Amino acid sequence: MKILVLGAAGMIGRKLIDRLLRDGKLRGEIITEIHAFDVVEGQFESTGSIAVSVEAGDITDAQTVTKLVANKPDVIFHFAAIVSGEAEADFGKGYRINLHGTQNLFDAIVDQDGYVPRVVYASSIAVFGAPFPSSIDDEFHLTPLTSYGTQKAIGELLLADYTRKGLMDGIGLRFPTIVVRPGKPNAAASGFFSNIIREPLSGQPAVLPVDKDVMHWMASPRSAVGFAIHAAEIDGDAVGPRRNLTLPGLAITVGEMIQALENVAGKKTANFIEEKRDETIVGIVNNWPRRFIANRAIALGFVSETNFEDIIQAHVDDELSGVLPG
């Protein structure tokens, strides 16, 4: 089993590769090779049975992507993208990477005659746009109101069409916002959802740029990796022709998140959060959906957390060695 991970240096990509190295198998087959690709080199080590190769490059370069696919990996995880805030701020860059990079990958697959890999494509709930019903079900239409959401929606359509034509075996995943992201803040407009938990748990201040009644759809990094693995292994016939899935998650307000933080780590930790409204972030977040009914994905076996305390505890266990702030 040969695996290619695009966006390997990102948070989900790193955790996915770590999980694959631990498991040693995917789709019931022994993993022999993992090729980790991103704009910067990630840090991974080969195991006794799995050879890990690391490469830095640009998915907007078609020749680079063609070389990646020439090895004919059995499964391709496509997580390479720039995030929502950056895609909105730099219109051209967003389309070059999020759309044209994806097109390069799909076309490179087609160029390998008779080659039909499983492709797991990271989409987003940003493909949906207002006005929203109280809960968005599997029948709701795609009307993105951001450049990032538009780029992901086009990618979904391409994935479905290439799969329909038998050119690849694609599964698109509309990820919830992933919280709590480890590391430093990124340029995603949704980054504050992680910041207001991660920084206080490390004894650092964090800024809350929106009102506490803002509700959003979330899942943990653990769940994100589980989603990716399950998408690689799921029976494509069971998915059917609608190849893009809205994933399960947890609908929760910012105020409820802060209360959960206080429940887990105490009021002193929650007091590190400072409310400082940012109208740009408010405007973006107001165009995002809040709650989903992910019946298709749940019926297909995708699972996530059901309370935010569990999401916080996953971060404490995985990133803080299980130690809460003193």
Of the candidate ranges 72-76, 185-189, 238-242, the one whose mean pLDDT is the lowest: 185-189
Task: Say whether 67 sits in a helix, a strand or coil.
Answer: helix
pLDDT band at 284 (very low <50, low <70, confident <90, very high): confident
User: How far is Cα 293 from Cα 303, in angstroms, rounded to an integer?
Assistant: 13
The radius of gyration of the chain from alpha carbons, rounded to an integer in Å, stands at: 19
pLDDT band at 187 (very low <50, low <70, confident <90, very high): low
CB 196 within 8 A of CB 273: yes
**pLDDT mean over 114-138:** 94
pLDDT band at 326 (very low <50, low <70, confident <90, very high): low
**pLDDT mean over 185-200:** 87
Is the predicted pLDDT of residue 185 greater than 80, yes or no? no
Q: Which residue has the higher pLDDT, 89 or 64?
A: 64
Q: Percentage of residues in the chain with pLDDT exceeding 70?
A: 99
Q: How far apart are the first and last CA of the chain?
A: 45
pLDDT band at 170 (very low <50, low <70, confident <90, very high): very high
Instruction: Give the dihedral sign, CA 131/308/322/304.
Output: negative
pLDDT band at 26 (very low <50, low <70, confident <90, very high): very high
If phi > 0 it is left, if psi is from -120 to 50 it is alpha, else beta; for residue 114 that is left
The pairing of strands 25-26 and 29-30 is: antiparallel
Is the predicted pLDDT of residue 270 greater than 90, yes or no? yes
pLDDT band at 101 (very low <50, low <70, confident <90, very high): very high
Smallest CA-to-CA distance from 148 within 194, 93, 214 is with 93
**pLDDT mean over 50-73:** 97
User: How far is Cα 272 from Cα 192, in angstroms, rounded to an integer?
Assistant: 13
If phi > 0 it is left, if psi is from -120 to 50 it is alpha, else beta; for residue 141 that is beta
pLDDT band at 53 (very low <50, low <70, confident <90, very high): very high
Q: Percentage of residues in the chain with pLDDT exceeding 90?
A: 86
Does the domain at 2-175+220-241 match CATH 3.40.50.11540? Answer given as no
**pLDDT mean over 161-168:** 98
For the chain, the structural domain boundaries read 2-175+220-241, 191-216+250-319
The CATH number of 191-216+250-319 is which of 3.40.50.970, 1.20.120.530, 3.90.25.10, 1.10.357.140?
Answer: 3.90.25.10
Instruction: Give the dihedral sign, CA 183/127/87/93.
Output: positive
Predicted local distance difference test score (pLDDT) of residue 151: 98
User: How far is Cα 135 from Cα 138, in angstroms, rounded to an integer?
Assistant: 10
**pLDDT mean over 141-145:** 92
Is the predicted pLDDT of residue 186 greater than 80, yes or no? no
Query: Does the annotation mark 148 as catalytic?
Result: yes
Catalytic residue among 95, 115, 121, 148: 148
**pLDDT mean over 192-202:** 96
**pLDDT mean over 34-43:** 94
- Mean residue pLDDT of the chain comes to 94
Is the predicted pLDDT of residue 66 greater than 70, yes or no? yes
Smallest CA-to-CA distance from 122 within 68, 168, 81 is with 81
278-282, long-range: CB < 8 A, 24+ apart? 278/207, 278/209, 278/210, 281/189, 281/192, 281/209, 281/210, 282/209, 282/210, 282/211
CB 99 within 8 A of CB 118: no
Of the candidate ranges 160-174, 180-194, 235-249, the one whose mean pLDDT is the lowest: 180-194
